Amino acid sequence: MMMSNNQIRLDQYTQEAYLDYAMYVILDRALPHVSDGLKPVQRRIVYAMSELGLKASSKYKKSARTIGDVIGKFHPHGDVACYEAMVLMAQDFSYRYPLVDGHGNWGSVDDPKSFAAMRYTESRLTAYADLLLSELGQGTSSWQLNFDGSLTEPVSLPARIPNILLNGGSGIAVGMATDIPPHNMGEVLDAVIHLVQNPDAAIEKLCEYVKAPDFPMGADIITSQKELIQMYKTGVGQIRLRGKYAVEQNNLVFYQLPFQSSSSKIVKQIADAMLAKQLPGVTDVRDESDHEHKVRVVIELKSMTKFKDQTLAALFALTDIEKTMRANFNMIGINKKPETKNLKQILSEWIIYRKQTITLRMQFEYEKIKRRLEILNGLLLVFIHIDQIIQIIRHHQEPKLALMDKFELSEIQAEAILEMKLRQLAGLEYIALEKEKEGLEKNEAELAYLLNHSQAFDQNFIEEIKEIREKYGDDRRSQLIDTPVMTYTVAKATVPDYVVKVVVSKEGWVRTFRSMEQSDSSLTFRSGDSLFSTFDARSTQSCFVLTSDGRIYNVPIHQMPGPRGYGEPLSKFVDLKSDILSVGVVSPNDTWLICVDSGYGFLLSSEHMAVTQKAGKAVFTLKEHEALLPLIAVKTDELLLMVTSQGRMLACEINTVNQLAKGRGVKLIGIKKDEYDCQKDRLNHVLSLSEQDHGILRSGSRHLNLDADRLASTKGVRASRGKLLPQGFRQVSGLEKLIKEQGRDESETV
């Protein structure tokens, strides 16, 4: 198809537009840069505050003033989002080393978003922020135009420390995310020094310095050293945090909680566990956090000696007192590309960046000294030829040119002489200039030596790092604890074990009876509702629910209501989105067959039927117009009996069917696609029989015995078409298994 010059194919335009947007989000919004550890909005806030003179030693200024400058000059986005980024950098419970010193309400540990509006709060930079800004005006940074081309802003800040590790960061981009935990400054800087001295150092050696992340609010890290080293090797992993507590009489007092945990949420979790009788030793819980105690959660026990260990195990399992943090060291590298990096890559790239910055700073200082020495040489000339210079100034119309010609001066030297004041001609001033020249010449020589000798340069780099570590370094807040993760099973530990009868109605209402003598005929239901299924179970088990959209849900039976009224809807416990197809008990070592009327299916183990999410889990991938059949319990040494709507029957070995966690499985019986599409043939009935079992096939009022000979005649290979049933039995209404009990046969309808 011909297109004019101003036209472009839609698919090409869409691809380019999406790629441009993705790269914009990745590079300019979501991911921090390895050089200064900041995202663009954070960098612009810090730079704008420095331009406003809001250093750590200055007075506080309204936050709205800063945000106005940021969005007006550098970051034309929403003021609320920009202010939230500023708030995050001011919260000492969010940032290990805050960049903003906030005055007023900047949120709390319990509710980080409870901060006051920007018109009420005041702010300035912290002393730590100076480590990112102090070298900014010394030729160390590349500059770029702002969004409208009227101003310039730094591409990155000349960070004197690896802020990317010290404060970490999190963000979600297009197709990628980052979760970098914060670290201790002293440990990271020690690792930097070691890597400068030993560029080939292994990550295991660096992990002797950087032992683990270090979170602002403390809490213990219970992740093993092996897992932490693996995390630093791959750049991806998990950190398990556990709150710290003290024992006060019969109280457990938690004074440190995992990163980004809320004390009020934890109190609610404990209260819910108490209502569910999962904390039998706890009598009360209260949140005593205040201005003096940022975190103080008090848990009263009946007896410390009797219930302490049991309660702690339950608290760690049921609440956020113990939680796992993701780690994904994804960032923009010095090559301007996003990448998940290991510890050595991060430190090595920052060292390269820092060395480049120091080199630019030294070159800037060197050129500055050279210019000053040039001026000093010209000024000192005045004291030697003072009379001639005065005569030239008095009698020449262009004294600058005359001085340059007479004494072979540069333009800069001549201008400095002409701008010199008379009081500077005193003898003491000459001595001061000579002294200044001597000092500058010494500095010039030192800088030249450092720039030309890599070993001396590296040693100077190390000395700078040591000075920063001495001034800003602090103790680790998150201690590494070598302790196993405490295991806790709700059902076995706290739920009474007894037999119940579970009743489920067609509308999805559920209730339980302790009496096994409750007959189905005596059950009552809401108007328009009726019985769907009943089954026996134990209170420690879970009930599975399979819905027509192929999702499985689990409901703990001990949470189900008792026999009063009509019970409660299953939707109270799980997020049902389709009709209920099957219900039953999740028991260990059980195997179930899940299949659709198009003839596909697979085996599902009890392990894969266990679901913790309220939203359930998709186990079968349905195609358009397909319908699931109810689940049937099977054993792998049995025969699978299948009957289609055309009256074809096939028996095959169940062990030829795959066992999967989810999907569509394999073809169980052959059904032609065109016959299925026009609804001429579908899988209607399935039954599992052992070699000793007999079955009955019902067709209206008639029935056909399925004895060993009959089963043998219909046995075939899985996925084959099967054989037609005798005339008069092809409209099958049900399959039943004969169960022998006390000398008589009973049929079980399936």
Enumerate the β-bridge partners of residue 568.
Answer: 510
Helices (H), 473-544: 490-494
Residues with Cβ within 8 Å of 103's Cβ and at least 6 positions away in sequence, in order, are: 60, 121, 122, 123, 124
Beta carbons within 8 Å of 412's beta carbon, 6+ residues apart? 371, 374, 375, 378
Q: Sort 603 into a burial class: Cβ within 10 Å, 0-12 / 13-18 / 19+.
A: buried
Contact 661, 609 (CB under 8 A): no
Cα–Cα distance between 187 and 469 in angstroms, integer? 9
Helix pair 386-395, 399-407: axis angle to 10 deg: 150
Q: Is 600 helix (H, G, I), strand (E, B) or coil?
A: strand
Edge to edge, the sheet with strand 617-618 lists 580-586, 542-547, 551-556, 617-618
Two structure tokens written together for 98: 């805050």
The burial of 346, by beta-carbon neighbours within 10 Å (0-12 exposed, 13-18 middle, 19 or more buried), is given as buried
Q: Which residue has the tokens 């020495």?
A: 373
Helix-, strand-, coil-residue percentages of the chain, each rounded to 5: 35, 25, 40
What is the C-alpha separation between 631 and 180, in angstroms, rounded?
Answer: 45
Give the list of residues 6+ apart from residue 18 with CB closer than 8 angstroms, or none: none
Measured torsion, CA atoms of residues 92, 156, 163, 293, in degrees rounded to the nearest 10: 0
Tell me, what amino acid is at 289?
Answer: S
H or E stretch including 498?
A: none
- Collect all residues with Cβ–Cβ distance below 8 Å to 397 and sequence separation of at least 6: none
Q: Which tokens sit at 597?
A: 């009327």
At residue 60, what are phi and psi to the nearest 5 degrees? -65, 150
- In the block, which residue shows the tokens 């099958």? 732
Which value, to the nearest 10 degrees, does the dihedral of the CA atoms of residues 505, 509, 510, 511 take? -100
Cα angle: 482, vertex 484, 490; to 5 degrees: 150
Question: What is the distance, to the nearest Å, from the Cα of residue 343 to the centroid of all Cα atoms in its chain?
Answer: 18
What letter represents residue 82's amino acid?
C
Across the strands, what pairs with 682? none
- Give yes or no for a contact between 624 and 677, defined as CB atoms under 8 angstroms apart: no
Angle at 310 between CA 304 and CA 316, to 5 degrees: 110
Distances (CA, A) of 265 to 262, 608, 615: 5, 31, 21
Identify whether 95 is a catalytic site residue.
no
Give the span between the Cα atoms of 122 and 594, in whole angstroms: 62
Closest residue by Cα to residue 376 from 424, 423, 448, 422: 424
Q: Are 258 and 325 in contact (CB under 8 A)?
A: yes
Backbone angles phi, psi at 491, to 5 degrees: -65, -50
Distances (CA, A) of 686 to 515, 597, 678, 705: 32, 10, 22, 16
Of the residues 21, 120, 449, 498, which is catalytic?
Answer: 120
3 state SS for 305-333: HHHHHHHHHHHHHHCCCEEEEEEECEEEC
How many whole angstroms separate alpha carbon 510 and alpha carbon 506?
Answer: 10
Which positions ≥6 away from 317 have C-beta within 8 Å? 486, 487, 488, 490
> Which residues are catalytically annotated?
120
